[in-house]
């Protein structure tokens, strides 16, 4: 994922603290070589990015195959647990080829939305029935290839998923998720390797899915590799109740007891936490990935994101089930949810929300040199139109506020990854018909 040297001229650029007009970026070997401000017109031969250019967005939590559930799961009512049964039925039909086709289209949809890196929380490892494929990582490799073909970066968060609940074996639906035990999970995951566009990380699916005595094996695997480690944490009150019954403590306390929390760890959702949980997570430097569009879609609740950040937990954002793929909406929803909960406004500035969607999201996925527009950083960029029906009118200096509180994914005009145009003028350069690819992949999966 490298590109030839080129210069980009940004009509307006978000430089982390302010909007700067007229910025030229020189890129080489996929990185920003120089940032030149005060350039009022495009230099000769420069690629022109009109609108507001941000660092590329990081989608820190994805389950690519959930995209096939969009709209289908909106028929009738139900709970998270009934939604999960529909999800299991979809997972059962996946093959390496069908997962590759679907994920390629989903990641292309993300590129169209300005997302340059995805954290794929991956747990569909084996064939239906639980037998390994000839290549035990065939499903993970399909995801890595899909991201490369869609032109984005990926952190494959390979998930340990070993039980259906505290002390219970996997159900028939979950048999293809399980490696049997954490040691077998570690042996299989160790076969996956980093590459130019990809990082390999780890995940504990949840405290109900990994026996307590095996949590440390997953944590040690990530520690030895200095890899990111993610975990679904307290998404549902039922998980908290079951954990207390089994272990006499909350899920966050159980993770702390077994060495899972820490600066390379990110808790996903972190919705139903006690005050002690919030202190444990923040005090250990564990991150929090909020997924507001999924959390509201599944009626999960509103997590204490502000309190977590105040205690020291860095925030990132994810589209999770892909009810929509729109990081601007995720950022906006985090603030607006908090307004509804507290009946006060202004918990995060637009700059702080953009930080969660860019540099802190990338850090949560192990890309510490990505998510800023400065020399030495990876040349990953997202350009938002400032002249659409949603964004027209505000002064350009309010570009951050416009992006977060008015723009949608439909306003993304350009996406650049490693100095290469992946989306140009709203069209994907590598996947010519993204809607068609999505429709075909989902249709084939249902057949």
Active site residue 181: no
Q: Which two tokens stand for residue 45?
A: 């031969």
Which is it for strands 427-428 and 420-424: parallel, antiparallel or unpaired? antiparallel
Instruction: Write the burial class of residue 331 (CB in 10 Å: 0-12 exposed, 13-18 middle, 19+ buried).
Output: buried
Residue entry with tokens 């966050």: 252
Rounded Cα distance between 50 and 425, Å, is: 10
Q: Which two tokens stand for residue 431?
A: 């996947």
Measuring CA to CA, how many Å separate 322 from each of 159, 184, 319, 329?
Answer: 19, 30, 5, 12
Asked whether 266 and 60 are in contact (CB, 8 A), the reply is yes
Rounded Cα distance between 412 and 108, Å, is: 13
Active site residue 29: no
Q: What is the largest CA-CA distance in the chain?
A: 68
Give bridge partners of residue 6 from the DSSP assignment: 27
Please identify which of the residues 179, 297, 300, 320 carries the catalytic annotation. Answer: 320
Rounded Cα distance between 267 and 246, Å, is: 21
Give bridge partners of residue 378 from the DSSP assignment: 31
Quote the crossing angle between the two packed helices 215-225 and 182-189, to the nearest 10°: 20
Q: Which two tokens stand for residue 244?
A: 């207390």
Please identify which of the residues 12, 269, 347, 362 carries the catalytic annotation. Answer: 269
Catalytic machinery residues:
269, 320
């Amino acid at each position: 994922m490298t590109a030839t040297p080129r210069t980009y001229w940004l009509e307006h650029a978000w430089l982390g603290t302010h909007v700067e007009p007229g910025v030229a970026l020189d890129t080489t070997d996929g990185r920003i070589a120089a940032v030149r401000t005060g350039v009022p017109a495009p230099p000769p031969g420069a690629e022109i990015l009109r609108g507001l250019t941000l660092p590329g967005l990081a989608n820190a939590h994805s389950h690519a195959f959930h995209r096939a559930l969009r709209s289908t799961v909106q028929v009738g009512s139900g709970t998270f647990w009934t939604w999960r049964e529909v999800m299991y039925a979809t997972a059962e039909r996946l093959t390496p080829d069908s997962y590759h086709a679907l994920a390629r289209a989903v990641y292309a949809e993300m590129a169209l939305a300005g997302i340059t890196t995805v954290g794929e929380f991956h747990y569909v490892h084996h064939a239906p029935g639980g037998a390994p494929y000839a290549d035990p990582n065939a499903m993970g490799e399909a995801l890595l290839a899909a991201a490369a073909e869609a032109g984005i970066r990926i952190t494959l968060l390979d998930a340990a998923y070993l039980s259906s609940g505290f002390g219970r074996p996997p159900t028939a639906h979950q048999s293809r998720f399980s490696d049997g035990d954490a040691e077998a999970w570690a042996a299989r995951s160790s076969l996956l390797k980093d590459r130019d566009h990809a990082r390999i990380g780890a995940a504990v699916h949840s405290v109900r899915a990994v026996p307590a005595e095996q949590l440390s094996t997953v944590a040690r695997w990530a520690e030895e590799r200095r890899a990111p480690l993610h975990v679904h944490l307290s998404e549902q009150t039922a998980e908290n109740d079951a954990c207390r019954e089994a272990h006499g403590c909350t899920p966050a306390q159980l993770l702390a007891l077994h060495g899972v929390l820490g600066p390379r760890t990110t808790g996903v959702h972190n919705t139903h936490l006690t005050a002690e949980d919030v202190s444990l997570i923040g005090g250990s430097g564990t991150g929090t990935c909020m997924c507001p569009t999924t959390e509201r879609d599944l009626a999960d609740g509103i997590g204490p994101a502000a309190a977590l950040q105040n205690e020291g937990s860095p925030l990132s954002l994810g589209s999770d089930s892909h009810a929509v793929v729109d990081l601007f909406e995720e950022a906006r929803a985090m603030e607006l949810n908090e307004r509804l909960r507290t009946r006060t406004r202004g918990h995060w500035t637009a700059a702080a929300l953009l930080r969660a969607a860019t540099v802190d999201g990338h850090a949560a996925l192990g890309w510490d040199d990505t998510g800023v527009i400065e020399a030495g950083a990876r040349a990953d960029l997202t350009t938002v139109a400032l002249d659409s029906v949603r964004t027209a009118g505000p002064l350009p200096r309010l570009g951050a506020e416009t992006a977060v509180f008015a723009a949608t994914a439909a306003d993304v005009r350009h996406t650049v990854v490693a100095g290469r145009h992946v989306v140009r003028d709203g069209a994907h350069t590598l996947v010519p018909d993204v809607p068609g690819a999505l429709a075909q992949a989902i249709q084939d999966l249902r057949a």
